Amino acid sequence: MYKIACLFLAAFSLSVGLRAADERPNIIVVLCDDLGYGDLASYGHPYIKTPHLDQMAAEGIRFTDFYSTAPVCSPSRVGLLTGRSPNRAGVYDWIPPGRPGTKDRRGDVHMRASEVTIPQLLKKSGYATAMAGKWHCNSIFNSPAQPQPGDAGFDHWLATHNNAAPSHANPINYVRNGEPVGELEGYSCQIVVDEGIDWMEGLRSKNSEQPFFLFLAFHEPHEPVASPEELTASYRNVAFSEKEAEYFANVENVDRAVGRLLDYLEESGADEDTLVIFTSDNGPETLNRYERSSRSWGRADPLRGMKLWTTEAGFRVSGIMRWPGQIAAGQVSDEVVSALDFLPTFCDLAGAEVPAGLELDGANFLPALEGEAIEREKPLVWAFYNALNERQLAMRDGDWKVLGRLDLARTPNLGAHNIEEVKAAQLVDVEIYNVRYDIGEARDISFSHPELKERLTQKLKTHYSELLEGSHVWE
């Protein structure tokens, strides 16, 4: 009890200390699309040059055990914005363009108006809010038929439904605050940063001291990849092919975009008052599963698997945070942090109230910024019913990673057509890995540690049952 009390007081003191310099910091989240765990130089890539992100890590904290909320884009974004497993919102897989009325109801899937989001809560606390980039939280984009970014709490938004089209270069499918803007010149990540800077400059021009929340959702390095020729040329001598060179260049272009964002914060004087977080929505696309994936050369090294898998590579991603004067420079942390933790942490920093009774799956990550443990009421649990590795359940609990297989065929959605079958599915097999020492999940220790297997299997069953019970089913 004494230890728990001390940890609570330490976390409380840290929270107060982090807010002392500026009671309500600006918060910027930069989210990549399909960036591999090993795609940045600071995470071990041998060729891709990412000097700005390397500097960001050197001036802040780099997490080695950072997790997205799902191994694929749509549910990952919904989980990030709500602080809840995306299953609670009924978003189980990527959302295809609207085709309502199908048996699996995927065309009806969207982040419902009843969901509570980060921008909504921060806005109530006096924050200005904006997003730019990939939305992909509904099937019917820019229509009153389903909630849009503005309904989710963003005062200003420039977004696409899914991918930048026809590619990252000169996209034609952006919509600003409900109005299509036509072709935009340049590359998507730079366009997104342009929009963010213009919006921040607009606040600044009003001499506003209003704090802000800015969500920059890059399309890169998801297909269809397009990269500046000068960057592509610099990788031709080390890449396996022209298409791999284009991928390497794509990631470096992301780095340049982040560099421009950080430069603006410093030049505008907002640097000291702004927490910037860089991460990815899921792991990399590494297989030629469809024709357009020929430029998907992301690296998950040293993790096993890829996007759409429940092994570490599916959702263990880069996580870098920088906040000059508040986060000590040069830190590398192996504390387990999740994008689910954003909502409770941001609300703490902003003095925003989390609605009573709102079931959250994340925790306040502020203690991790000073080397302390995060106090979690429950482990991180993923239920991804369409997993390519056919292990639909995953749990990270301390050093342990548990993978569970249900006797259930793969499915992208839960609805009236299959909910009884899903509820009846039994956990038929588990694997256990100590990912603190076995990051590649190479040695399943479930057979050699029967007591551990029994304990963790029961824990997975308990938390999965609670999650399934709280999951939204499309009727």
> Which residue in the list 32, 73, 189, 347 is annotated as catalytic?
73
Which three-class secondary structure state does DSSP give residue 65?
strand
Who's near 130: CB < 8 A, 6+ residues apart? 154, 155, 156, 157, 195, 196, 199, 212, 213, 214, 215
Contact by Cβ (8 Å): 66, 337: yes
36: Cβ–Cβ under 8 A, 6 or more apart, which residues?
280, 283, 284, 286, 298, 299, 300, 301, 313
Residue 417 catalytic?
no
Pairing of strands 26-32, 212-217: parallel
- The Cα–Cα gap between 238 and 46 comes to 10
Q: Which residues does residue 31 pair with via DSSP β-bridges, in sequence order?
A: 217, 279
Question: How far apart are the C-alpha atoms of 284 and 244, rounded to whole Å?
Answer: 13
Rg (alpha carbons) of the chain, rounded to whole number: 21
**402 contacts 414 by C-beta, under 8 angstroms:** no
Measure the CA–CA gap between 19 and 283, rounded to whole angstroms: 32
* Residue 196 near residue 31 (C-beta atoms within 8 A): no
The single residue of 52, 110, 136, 156 carrying the catalytic annotation is: 136
Rounded to 5 degrees, φ, ψ at 268 are -85, -5
Q: Has 189 been annotated as catalytic?
A: no
125/383 Cα distance (integer angstroms): 33
β-bridge partners, 99 = none
Identify whether the C-beta of residue 134 lies closer than 8 Å to the C-beta of residue 145: no
Query: What DSSP string describes 198-259?
Result: HHHHHHHHTT----EEEEEE--TTSSSP---HHHHHTTTTTSSSHHHHHHHHHHHHHHHHHH
Instruction: Give the chain's largest Cα–Cα span.
Output: 65
Q: Which residues are identified as catalytic? A: 73, 136
